[in-house]
Structure 1
Amino acid sequence: MSKISVAGVRQHCTDLLEYSTETKKRNFLETVELQIGLKNYDPQRDKRFSGTIRLPTIPRPNMSVCILGDQHDIDRAKHGGVDSMSSDDLKKLNKNKKLIKKLARKYDAFVASDTLIKQIPRLLGPGLSKAGKFPTPVSHADDLTGKLNEVKSTIKFQLKKVLCMGIAVGNVGMTSEELVANIMLAINYLVSLLKKGWQNVGSLTIKATMGPPTASSRWDNEMWRLLLAFHSYIPGA
C-alpha cells in the first residue's frame, strides 16, 4: 500500500462527518474508528508489536476511567466526579478472577496513585494487565484532570493473533481538521511499528459507529498513489 494524501484524508473525514451529523444524525456521539488490515505479517513468527501514542484531540470524551488511589487522590477524584477505589476496596475483591474481570470490563482505563501502583499486582493479580488496562501512575504533584485527559487521548496499537485491528481515533463531534490530525498521527505511528512499514499495510478504513465503511473512507493501492508523505503533515495544509 502506498502512502496517502492529506487532501484525500481530509475529504474522507469531511464526507464522514457530513453523513453522521447531517444525513444520518444519531442521538449519541458516534466514535470514529480507524480499521487496519495488515499483510505480509506472521503473528506466530514475527515479533508482535505494541505501542502507545497521545493524540492531539481526545477521541472518546465519555471514556470511563477509575482511579485506584490513596486518600489524597480519592478526595481529588470525588471532587472531580470521577469513580475511585481505595486499597481496602481492592482487598475486598480477594483476588477473585471473576470480580477482577468484571472490574476491568466496567472501565475503559485506570489511573493509580504512585504510592499504590506497586501494590496492584499483589492486590489484583494479573487481571488488569491481561485486559490491557494496567493503571497509569499519577503523583500528588500531577494535575489530576490533566492526567485523565492524557489517558483519554492515548491510543494503543497491539498486534495479537489476527492481522486486523480497530482503534478509536476520534468522534463525530470533532472538526474535520481535528479528525485529520488524529488520523494522520495514528497512521504515522502505526507504520513506524511495522517491520516493513507501508509494505505491511493492506488496508485502512475510517468508520463512524453507525456509518457505512464505504469506498469514500477506504484507501488501497488502486485508489491512492504516493502523493504526500504524511510525516510532513501540518494541520491546515
Structure 2
Amino acid sequence: MMQGVSIGPFCTVGSAAKLGHGCQLHPGSHIFGNTELGEHCILMTGAVVGDDLPGRTVIGCNNIIGHHALVGIKCQDLKYKPGDECFLDVGDNNDIREHTSIHRSSKSSDRTVIGDNNLIMGSCHIAHDCKDYAHTAGAIVVHQFCRIGSFCFIGGGSVVSQDVPKYMMVTGERAELRGLNLEGLRRRGFTAAEEQNEELAHIPAVGSMVQSIRDSFAENRRGICKFRYWTSS
C-alpha cells in the first residue's frame, strides 16, 4: 500500500496506474494507462503521464514532471500500428520542465529511454525510440532519420541533417563537426589515456566511435556531419 501520497483536486489516476511512496500530484495533473511512478515523484499542474495504449510507461524515483508536460504518450511515427505495444523508461532524479513532450517507442521491439539526473528544459520534444547520453543546447533541430551518438554535444541553434558520431561536438546551421566533446567525456569519466593513447585501436571507447562512424555509412543512412575547424572569429 502506498504511503504519503498527495493527490490534488481535479486529478486523474487510472485504474492500472501504480504510485510509489511520497508521490505528489498537483491540481489538474493526470496519470493514464499502464504507468508506474517510483517514490517521491512530483507532477506539476497540467502534467500528463502515460496513455491508454498497449505497453507501459515506467518512471523512476525523485522525478519532477513540469507544468503541462506530456510524458509517455503515443508517438508521432506514421508507421506505428494501433494496437502495438510501446514503451517508455525514465530513470531517477530527472527535472522534466514545462511543456516538454516525451513519446513512447514506435514498435514493441524498441523503447524510448531517459536515464538519470537529466535536466530536460522547457518545451523540449524527445521523440520515439530515443536513447543514449547526449548533451544538447537550446533550439536545435534534428532530422528524423539522423542518429545522435552517445556522449556528443550539439551547440545551440544547430540544424542536424546527418548523423553525429559518438563523442563528437557539432554546431551550426547544417551542423558541422568541430572536434571531440573533450569536456563532456571528462565529466563522464573517460580518461586521458582513452583520448591520447597511441594504440587507439585497442581502446574500447575508440572502437565504439569507429563503429558508430561505420554505421552512419551503412545502407540507407545519411552519412555524418561534415568537419570544420574552429576559427578565432
Is TM (by shorter chain) over 0.5?
Answer: no
More contact order relative to length (CA 8 Å, sep ≥ 6): 1
Structure having the larger proportion of residues in strand: 2
- Structure 2-normalised TM-score? 0.26
Structure having the larger proportion of residues in helix: 1
- Structure 1-normalised TM-score? 0.26
